Amino acid sequence: MTTISASASASKLATFRNFGVCAHIDAGKTTVTERVLYYTGKSYKIGEVHEGTATMDHLEDEQQRGITIQSAATTCPWTKDGVEYTMNLIDTPGHVDFTMEVERSMRVLDGAVVVFDGKEGVEAQSETVWRQADRYGVPRICFVNKMDKLGADFAFSFDTIHERLGAPAIAVQMPIGAGDEFEGVIDLLTMKAFYFSKEDKGMTVTEADIPDNLREEADQRRHDLIEKVAELDDSLTEKFLMEEEITVDEIKRVLRKATIEQKAHPVFCGSALQNIGVQRLLDGVVDYLPNPTEVPEVQGTDPKDAEQKLTRPHDKDAPLSLLVFKIVNDQHGDLTYCRIYSGVLEKGTRVLNSNNGKREIVSRIFEMHSKDRIARETAEAGEIVAVVGLKQSMTGETLCSPDDPIVLDRMEFPEPVISMS
Ligand code: GDP
């Protein structure tokens, strides 16, 4: 076991993404998640911080369903443009029976990837998931999966996101072929085609020019993309009207901001089963979903006076506050998964459970990986960790500094949303 002492700075926090994968049952959430663990496991090994092939096993053991994330949150590194990002993938149960669980995990997500079936588009349960994410103000990107399936239709699926969810979806990719002929994706920002090798589970990605037969459609879709993005920003609107060039960086900047404000939802496509597109989707998580400092300050109340509203900045120098979001009984005892909103959590410290007034000792702190855990001395605002030693804290409760108590807004569990269909 490795022990690291973390002293993450604000710039380090900018490389964090706390996100979940949500979907209608059967849309491919498990398969997408397995691929995320597989590809990030690969980059993790390249970083030589870790031994073993844990994440790969997920793909090899594919027949054994249900092994996706045994932990409530998994930390997995992803490198993009030479920068290593810490991706905390938070498990969000997809089945409608677990609506409460979905609500609980939504509370700690900063963003989500919503997976759709490329043939069916939006389905009844995708609406439920979408409304839950709306309620918690979770920024979202979309992944139209199963583009390899017979009858898969990107245009249809994309339209259902607009029509059934009424959501401002913006396609940033389009597929190359569909069904048996699905081969890769076109990036509508850079106008490049990406093909994924069949031999090595899509690890080798080849960049190429857009095939001639898709040129016209790609041009049209890019025009739509730019028009929609330009509408989100005054200076881009002007450029668009003046027919001036709008750069890829400008598109990304405006689309990122709009996604975080939930005014836009970038749409990606692929086939998790055929290993096509998931790496680009991970890049999309980095490009468009917020880091912990980009979401609104967490709200709460004074434990002695519920009328007294308090907030905590996403800052390690602020008083400690964290929320328990899942307790898992593990072979080593109870692991309590926490999202730290402010301050620094230190191993061995005494914290206050401001919901029940009890003091608790945090005896150990772990960063959870796919099948391994890394012991930490400290963890800070923005991070998701599992701690050992808590005896009297339950899901939804706040732990904080006894000197600066706060009760983070309790999760309300409204009635499950009834689907419109
Ligand atoms: P979940 O219920 O959303 O977790 O969905 P799963 O990942 O378990 O997938 C449901 C079914 O769809 C399984 O039989 C998968 O093999 C299949 N599936 C998942 N992704 C794809 C895909 O990209 N293409 C095709 N053709 N099937 C897929």
Is 110 annotated to bind a ligand? Reply is no
Using CA positions, which residue lies closest to atom 11 of ligand 1? 26
CB 21 less than 6 A from any atom of ligand 1: no
**What does the pLDDT read at residue 73?**
87
Give the number of other Cβ atoms within 10 Å of residue 359's Cβ: 11
CB 155 less than 6 A from any atom of ligand 1: no
From the CA of 242, how far away is ligand 1's center (Å)?
45
**What does the pLDDT read at residue 361?**
97
Q: How far separated are the first and last CA of the chain, in Å rounded?
A: 50
**pLDDT-above-70 percentage for the chain:** 84
From the CA of 25, how far away is ligand 1's center (Å)?
9
Q: What is the pLDDT along the chain (421 residues), one digit of tens a residue?
A: 443 334 445 678 899 999 999 888 889 988 998 899 888 876 433 222 223 333 433 334 333 333 334 567 899 999 999 999 999 998 876 555 556 666 677 888 999 999 999 999 999 888 988 988 898 899 999 999 999 999 999 999 999 999 999 999 999 999 999 999 999 999 999 999 999 988 888 888 899 999 999 999 999 999 999 999 999 999 999 999 999 999 999 999 999 999 999 999 999 999 999 999 999 999 999 999 999 999 989 999 999 998 999 999 999 999 999 999 888 887 767 899 999 999 999 999 999 999 999 999 999 999 988 767 899 999 999 999 999 999 999 988 999 999 999 999 865 544 444 333 3
Q: Which of 2, 181, 18, 29 is nearest to 111 (CA)?
A: 18
State which of 21, 24, 26 you would mutate to test the pocket of ligand 1, scoring each by most atoms of that ligand within 8 A of its C-beta. Answer: 26
pTM (2 d.p.): 0.89
**What does the pLDDT read at residue 215?**
97
Is 119 annotated to bind a ligand? Reply is no
**What does the pLDDT read at residue 378?**
97
From the CA of 405, how far away is ligand 1's center (Å)?
45
Query: Distance between CA 4 and CA 272 in Å, rounded?
Result: 34
**What does the pLDDT read at residue 333?**
77
**What does the pLDDT read at residue 193?**
96
From the CA of 32, how far away is ligand 1's center (Å)?
8
Does residue 297 contact residue 311 with C-beta atoms inside 8 Å?
yes
Query: Distance between CA 343 and CA 322 in Å, rounded?
Result: 9
Q: Which atom of ligand 1 is nearest to the CA of 31?
A: 7
CB 146 less than 6 A from any atom of ligand 1: yes
Using CA positions, which residue lies closest to atom 6 of ligand 1? 28
**What does the pLDDT read at residue 413?**
45
Is 411 annotated to bind a ligand? Reply is no
Tens-digit pLDDT profile for residues 281-324? 999 999 999 999 999 899 999 999 989 999 999 999 999 999 99
From the CA of 419, how far away is ligand 1's center (Å)?
22
Is 92 annotated to bind a ligand? Reply is yes
CB 93 less than 6 A from any atom of ligand 1: no
Query: Distance between CA 289 and CA 224 in Å, rounded?
Result: 22
Q: Which atom of ligand 1 is nearest to the CA of 34?
A: 7
**What does the pLDDT read at residue 139?**
97
Is 23 annotated to bind a ligand? Reply is yes
* ipTM of this predicted structure: 0.99
Using CA positions, which residue lies closest to atom 19 of ligand 1? 28
What are the C-alpha distances in Å from 264 to residues 169, 173, 232, 302? 6, 15, 9, 35
Does residue 21 contact residue 32 with C-beta atoms inside 8 Å?
yes
**What does the pLDDT read at residue 44?**
39
CB 398 less than 6 A from any atom of ligand 1: no
CB 271 less than 6 A from any atom of ligand 1: yes
From the CA of 123, how far away is ligand 1's center (Å)?
15
State which of 24, 63, 181, 273 you would mutate to test the pocket of ligand 1, scoring each by most atoms of that ligand within 8 A of its C-beta. Answer: 273
**What does the pLDDT read at residue 263?**
97
